[in-house]
Amino acid sequence: MVHSDSTAANPISAAPGVVARLIDEVYQLCRTDTSGELADYIPELAAVQPDSFGICLATADGQVYGSGDVHTPFTIQSISKPFTYALALADRGPAAVAQRIDVEPTGEPFNEISLDPRTQRPRNPMINAGAITAASLVEGRDPADRFARIQRSYGRFAGRELKLNEAVYASEARTGFRNRAIGYLLRGVGIVDGDPDEAVDRYFRQCSLDVTCRDLALMAATLANNGVHPLTHERALVAPLVEQVLSVMTTCGMYDAAGDWVTTVGLPAKSGVGGGILAVLPGQLGIAVYSPRLDEHGSSVRGVMACRELSHRLGLHFLHVTRGAHTAIRASYSVAEAPSRLRRDPEELELLRAHGDRVRIVELAGDLLFAGAESTVRAVEQLPGDLEALVLDLREVGDVSDIAARMLADVQAELAAAGCRVALVDPDAKLGHMSSSLDPADPVGRVFVDRDSATEWCEQLVLDRHRPPGYTVPAALRVEEHPAMAELPDDECVRLAREFEIRTIARGELVIARDSPRAGLFLILDGRVRITFEDNAGRRHRLITLSPGMSFGEISLLTGVHFSNDIYAETTVRLAVLSPEKFDRLTSQAPEVKLALLERLATAAYSQTDAAVRALAAHGGA
């Protein structure tokens, strides 16, 4: 019953997902309501299947979700009115159309035979009098050409050609005496020029075009997308006219129930006696519902109920939004593409290159309301099935709506159930998680204060899962085993090793302060040290973490410049330290040993500097 698609050519295909389940929840809730009556004043409409029911939601970038009878054809009826009004505006211009049609709500039924007593104009284009006038304003060589232009215009909004339902058209033409009376009234006061029967017949024909729930959702999404179809990318209407049409839909689209609709649903909308309802959230999405049982206002009972539920559950009321509503996925990358600032040994680097694409970091920015959450959830659900870990970085997110929090919680639970670990970078607890969970089965997962720590956590997951059987963590190095000593002859290596002093530094202690003079060569035998920097706000960040087999202090030792960064013990660390005095004495006592040592140090220093620069570039300095 749950459907989702993202292509114009393919039908909506069954696909589970967070948003699709939300749509289906509303569908299941509303389908039990069988109140309302069919539109029996048009005989063909009274013959439809009364319990047909479909809901579709289409985003402004072309994702379509649906439940129920989303492909069942039905006639568009009065939902055609905003689209013919749009074509009249495009043909004649807003000023000329305004001379024939007002834009004021009436508080009267849609088929009321009345005009404004002062202006003698129809009060708005959403009632039958205004719609017949709009149909009369469409340009063309002859009646057939004018209707063909309406049909093509609707097709641009729907993304496909719409066909005339000949049986419904004939039924409307046989019984449409009230609309003919309105046409003659309009001709009598000079609002409609020419033959009123031609204008009324064109109106009957436009109402008799067949659509599906999916078609209407994409027509609504085209209006939401500023007049450009989200899948075909064809422009159906220029942006200023979209604004005009949506404004009139807001105040007049639901006839004498417009005030209640705006209050409880809060979306520009249009209903039709064929059982359809179309609603638009500008900039974000379109909604369509089909269910032919109507209320006393001529709108679908289930359609109104479904739109209210969707608006409430998804936070769609257009007056709820006071800031930009979209959350952008600012970046998405694997740890193979953007590693942490922890420098690792060659074996670990090779494993991360081979398997790092199994974990991803997704950075979000902006307000996290339904549309932003939908695009985020969709992107996550489309990630490869062998994903082992995911990090959502929310530091640049503003407001988070309740529905967005629920959607992210649901997708976290989905991933956890599939064996994928999930973590958040959420120092301000925007999703309400004040602390990390250490339980791998807990969908809340870990919560980090910065992205680099989360990236390092991901890397460790990859290493723990993909290290070869029998792997053991290397023991602490002896001085002679450090890579900096690798090119020395055995006897020279042993002799030089005796010159190093072994120091143990507790976690968190300062090893070297910024601006310190040359302090010696430091070889890391066990544990890790962190080189840090401060930003303009005084916050301390990690530049790079060095691990066993690496070194620091050589640049200051060789050039005499002071240390440019603070260096801290990230863990308890064992260091072998060659003092500046002993290093200098090598020039006279063992010049070939010093040269070999310098070559190894230069290679390591270049590698570490390059890694630090690449890590900073990948993470934007954060």
Q: Hey, CA dihedral for 385, 387, 390, 396, is it positive or negative?
A: negative
Q: Which residue of the set 27, 65, 85, 255 is catalytic? A: 255
For residues 104 and 495, give the distance between their C-alpha atoms in angstroms, rounded to a whole number: 96
Is residue 255 flagged as an active site residue? yes
CA 88 to chain centre: 35
Evaluate whether 551 touches 597 at the Cβ level (below 8 Å): no
74 Cβ contact list (under 8 Å, min separation 6) = 48, 52, 210, 211, 212, 274, 275, 276, 290, 292
Eight-class DSSP state of 72 = -
Partners of 389 in beta bridges: 359, 421
SS (H, E, C) 504-543: EECCCCEEECCCCCCCCEEEEEECCEEEEEECCCCCEEEE
Q: Which residue of the set 4, 67, 78, 136 is catalytic? A: 78
**Which structure tokens are listed for 86?**
């749009």
Q: Which residue of the set 169, 203, 290, 568 is catalytic? A: 203
Is residue 606 flagged as an active site residue? no
Looking only at the bridges linking them, the beta strands covering 285-290 and 276-281 are antiparallel
**Which structure tokens are listed for 258?**
């417009």
590 Cβ contact list (under 8 Å, min separation 6) = 492, 495, 496
Eight-class DSSP state of 118 = T
SS3 59: strand
Is residue 568 flagged as an active site residue? no
Nearest Cα to Cα of residue 593 among 469, 467, 463, 494: 494
4 Cβ contact list (under 8 Å, min separation 6) = 12, 13, 14, 15, 17, 19, 20, 63, 64, 65, 66
Is residue 81 flagged as an active site residue? yes
For residues 259 and 295, give the distance between their C-alpha atoms in angstroms, rounded to a whole number: 16
For residues 210 and 585, give the distance between their C-alpha atoms in angstroms, rounded to a whole number: 93
For residues 187 and 175, give the distance between their C-alpha atoms in angstroms, rounded to a whole number: 20
SS3 171: helix
Partners of 187 in beta bridges: none
Nearest Cα to Cα of residue 246 among 230, 229, 224: 224
Q: Which residue of the set 18, 19, 81, 453 is catalytic? A: 81
Evaluate whether 67 touches 227 at the Cβ level (below 8 Å): no
Q: Which residue of the set 245, 273, 444, 479 is catalytic? A: 273
SS3 443: coil
Q: What count of other Cβ atoms lies within 10 Å of the Cβ of residue 100? A: 22
SS (H, E, C) 467-496: CCCCCCCCCCCCHHHCHHHCCCCHHHHHHH
For residues 154 and 148, give the distance between their C-alpha atoms in angstroms, rounded to a whole number: 10
Query: Annotated active-site positions, please?
Result: 78, 81, 203, 255, 273
